[in-house]
């Protein structure tokens, strides 16, 4: 029974990772950070890092692998959001030099 629950838990975490993939694709295709909350995705990424650390300490492979998969997909959204936000802000600063200090 314990193994079945662990298997289902790992599968659930893998499905959780898949839920971020459409957002990765949308951000990648649009090449913009608009509509993406950096606080939300950054927070998810931090929680997943904590989950991985907990899995390591508890020697829970399902938790480690599931959270790592989630971190890869959610972390990709986070990184792309940062990259496109920096580009957008730099572009805005170049187009309005009077706003710079």
Q: pLDDT tens across 21-80, in order?
A: 999 999 999 999 999 999 999 999 999 999 999 999 999 988 999 999 999 999 999 999
CA separation for the pair 6, 3 (Å, rounded): 5
Q: Tokens 């890092």 sit at which residue?
A: 49
Q: What is the pTM of this model?
A: 0.83
Structure tokens at 46: 């931090």
DSSP SS3 for 36: coil
∠36-93-86 over CA atoms, to 5°?
Answer: 35
Domains of the chain and CATH, by start: 2-96 (1.20.1280.290)
**Where does residue 21 rank: exposed (0-12), middle (13-18), buried (19+ CB within 10 A)?**
middle
pLDDT band at 98 (very low <50, low <70, confident <90, very high): low
CA separation for the pair 63, 9 (Å, rounded): 8
């Amino acid at each position: 029974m314990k193994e079945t629950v662990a298997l289902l838990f790992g599968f659930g975490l893998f499905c959780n990772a898949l839920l971020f993939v459409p957002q990765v694709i949308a951000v990648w295709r649009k090449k913009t950070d608009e509509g993406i909350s950096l606080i939300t995705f950054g927070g998810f990424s931090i929680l997943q890092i904590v989950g991985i650390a907990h899995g390591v300490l508890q020697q829970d492979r399902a938790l480690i692998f599931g959270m790592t998969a989630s971190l890869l997909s959610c972390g990709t959204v986070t990184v792309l959001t940062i990259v496109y936000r920096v580009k957008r802000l730099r572009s805005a600063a170049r187009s309005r030099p009077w706003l710079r200090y």
